[in-house]
Structure 1
Amino acid sequence: MITTPNAFWSGVLTDLRAGAPALAIATAGAVVFHFLGFPAPALIGAVTAASAAAIAGRLKTFPKRWRDVVFVLLGSAMGSAVTPETMAGVGHWPGSMLALAVAVTAMTASSYLVLRKGFGWDRTTAFYASPPGALSATLVMASTTDADISKVAVVQIIRVVILTMAAPIAIVSTGDHGPVAAVSHATAAGMAAILAAGIAGALIFQRLRFPGGLMVGAFLASAVLHASGVIVGRLPDWLTLPAFVALGAVIGTRFSGLKPSVILSLLKASLVSFFVTAAIGISFALAVGWALAIPAAQVFVAFAPGALEAMMLTAFMLGLDPAYVGAHHVARFVALSFAVPVAARLIGATAAKPAEPPPTDEDV
């Protein structure tokens, strides 16, 4: 299907109008959190404000076109943190990946037991609410079963939002972080090269249907330029800070469509599940950090059951290695995409979604 120029620009304007409220609210939150002295205010403030507005029914989903642009920009920006020095730690990753597999299994099992035994949820719903860090894939798979999608969505989304807001605060309070790599800004030619490479990488990985393809592809392309020394410096703040705010709006608007009463009724189960899995993640992070001489904060962000985009951005903003964090989150996403259907069959959480009843006069 060929899109005419008029239709294209009409779509752009429509998306701008649709996304403007979310961006305005997210920006206001970022400004307030900046003056309050919060770490990473562009992300934490934006997520907080957008989440509150979405729960109140004031925001809808963020336009896909602009969400994709944000992912490409952020991926390109984060690539600047990958330097020849950071790549020296790649040799530690196999052991860390093995530990991640054990940690994810423990997190999923513990959350399942909490929701199943502690709150009496049915087997299928408790199972699909438990896998950490594969929100989109889990929701798609759960939608084909008789799982209560509202419960699954609330537990998974609350987990992502809490981690996005809490992780930077917790890490900064411990002092276990460093300055962001490549603090100087790239030249105009360098900036153009970073963006061109990022767009090309994003399009390739999206075409390959890679998980988080737009951000991961842009990140890898930019990382290659920086790790090889071809480009030195990062994208300017006037370009990256609005992208951080927009990502906060994207995450916050995931609450759109969920009724406040439903969220409140499931809040206790969601929080207990979160704290149990977070405790396991912290325990593994401390052990892996000590055994492999990797900063514990960096391992925690890599093991944290949050969204790939938000956790990579958290690592970047706090001077941690986004390559290490991104590799672990991508590995978890891919592994869970294959493991969840198998595990569901083993525990009998595969009951098909019942067929919709025929419409009645009241439904018309």
Structure 2
Amino acid sequence: MLITLFYTAVGAILGSLFLLPMGEMFGAMFLVLLASKYHHSMSLHHHALTFIQIVLGISVGSLVQVGEWQSHLSFGVLFGLITCMTIQTLVGYCWLTQIEKWSKNDSLLGSVPGAMAAILVITNSQSTPSQKVIFTHTVRLVSLMVLASLIAYSTKLEPSMVSTSYIDNLLQVNMLELATAVFTAVGFGFVLERLGVPAPFMITGLLVTAGGHAVVPTVSIMMPDIMVFVAMALLGALVGIRIKSVTLKETLLYLKAGVFITILGLIVTLLIAGAFSTLLDLPYLVLVMSWVPGSIEAMTVTALMLGLEPSFVMLNHIIRLIVLHTLPVLFVRKNKRQTLRPLTEGFRLSRKSLHYK
């Protein structure tokens, strides 16, 4: 495990030097994947995913501002976002089932527009985790990140946009408020975990932080950037460990699936954004940046640099993440019902046969 952490740290640092959004995740993922194939057996403690859930849940929850939601969003925008996500999923699902010949479960997970952490939690809950799903999401995430980076870095970076150092950011964090949120999220998370709710710490971290901001507006719970850096690096390492046994032939097949899913998602976004731009009288490019299934960091930064209402774009992506972060609960419970159904039917048949005897 220490060797894995070493490769994770080195890969994250190298990846961040390329100045791409989420470079720490991709750097750790590629280096851990490379090392696992040619040098070492890679593994991480099972609580690494718990740490990732807490950090990402609080990070997303800290972005939720009730006042901005009320001023920036409307029923029409929410309906358009849900419509876009639904059609993106349906188109991707049809492609994966009909063209790629994937199973229904893998096709559903592979077609979901974004949220790598939520997908990783779902695959961890399966008895035979699907590597193709993780690989396809990685391809889509990388493609959209590169596209957003090319757009963002083709413009001039204003001095006010330069981020502060990790030390300065750490000094701005109220540790007492953060510790309270973390312990509260962990406590409720253990309760949800006992109840069989998947991704419990991600959900409680998000709800505790967003709820704290709503109840006490003066509270400013925020996760230090260095912790987000570590969480994203660990997430990249977990993805690298998950896809380490993918062969070259499978890589080419999954790469093709990921590219086509990305293209189809972009086409759907362009069409739906065009329709709702006319209906809601909103800027077309703003809706495209808000509903494209990319990362919240990349799309918000790109919107900021292009002057495309970054707060509106960010809030749409937050809602998308909230919806997708609840997906593990629905998906895993659905699988449990499907698993228990043959057992209950067999029990009924056995009772019926005993009755006839």
TM-score when scaled to structure 1?
Answer: 0.67
Which of residues 183, 197, 200 in structure 2 aligns to 1:210? 197
Deviations 1:137-182 (A, max 9, x none): 5787785xxxxx8xxx34212112223434333223333999799x
> Who is 2:150 aligned against?
173
Q: Residue by residue, what CA displacement relative to the aligned partner does 1:233-280 show, whole Å, maximum 9, x if unpaired? A: 522233332222222212221124x2xxx5211222212211221112
- Conserved 8 A contact 1:54-1:255: no
- The equivalences for 1:156-167 within 5 A come to 156-167=133-144
Equivalent residue in structure 2 for 1:251, among 239, 251, 268: 239
Corresponding residue number in structure 2 for 1:106 = 91
When normalised by structure 2's length, the TM-score is 0.68
Q: What is the distance in 2 between the residues matched to 1:332 and 1:180?
A: 35
* 1:296 alignment partner, SS class: helix
- Runs of at least 5 residues in structure 1 that lack an aligned partner in the other structure: 1-17, 117-124, 144-148, 305-310, 344-364
What value does the CA root-mean-square deviation take over the aligned residues? 3.8
Q: Does 1:24 align with 2:11?
A: no
Trace 1:136-285 onto structure 2 (pairs within 5 A): 137=122, 153-175=130-152, 185-228=172-215, 229-232=217-220, 234-256=222-244, 258=245, 263-285=247-269
Residue 326 (structure 1) aligns with: 321
| Aligned CA distance change for structure 1 residues 190 and 215 (closer, same or farther; 3 Å) | same
Aligned residues: 296
Q: Deviations over 1:92-116 (max 9, x none)?
A: 3234223322321211111222223
Alignment partner of 1:77 is 2:53: no
Confirm or deny that 1:297 pairs with 2:289: yes
Is the Cα–Cα contact under 8 Å of residues 23 and 245 in structure 1 kept in the other structure? no
Tell me the SS of whatever aligns to 1:231. Answer: coil
Question: Does the C-alpha gap of structure 1 residues 61 and 312 become closer, same or farther in structure 2, counting only changes over 3 Å?
Answer: farther
Deviations 1:16-37 (A, max 9, x none): xx2x222211211121122233
Q: Give ranges in structure 2 of 5+ residues lacking alignment.
A: 113-118, 164-168, 303-309, 339-357
Report the alpha carbon displacement of residue 219 of structure 1 after superposing the two structures with TM: 1.4
1:84-103 superposed matches below 5 A: 84-88=66-70, 89=73, 91=75, 92-103=77-88
Which has the larger displacement, 102-111 or 286-295? 286-295
Distance 1:135 1:192, change over 3 A: closer
1:62 to 25, 44, 65: 44
Which segment drifts farther, 206-215 or 278-287?
206-215
Q: Structure 2 counterpart of 1:46, which letter?
A: A
Q: Is the 8 A contact 1:75 1:198 kept in 2?
A: no
- Tell me if structure 2 keeps the 8 A contact 1:72–1:202: no
* Alpha carbons of structure 1 residues 85 and 238: separation in structure 2 relative to 1, 3 Å: same
AA matched with 1:252 = G
Amino acid at match of 1:330: H
- The letter for the 2-side match of 1:165 is V
Give identity over the alignment, percent.
14
Report if aligned partners of 1:50, 1:59 keep a CA contact under 8 Å in 2: no
Equivalent AA in structure 2 for residue 29 of structure 1: G
Amino acid paired to 1:270:
Y
User: Is 1:103–1:281's contact at 8 Å kept on the other side of the alignment?
Assistant: yes
Letter paired with 2:209: S
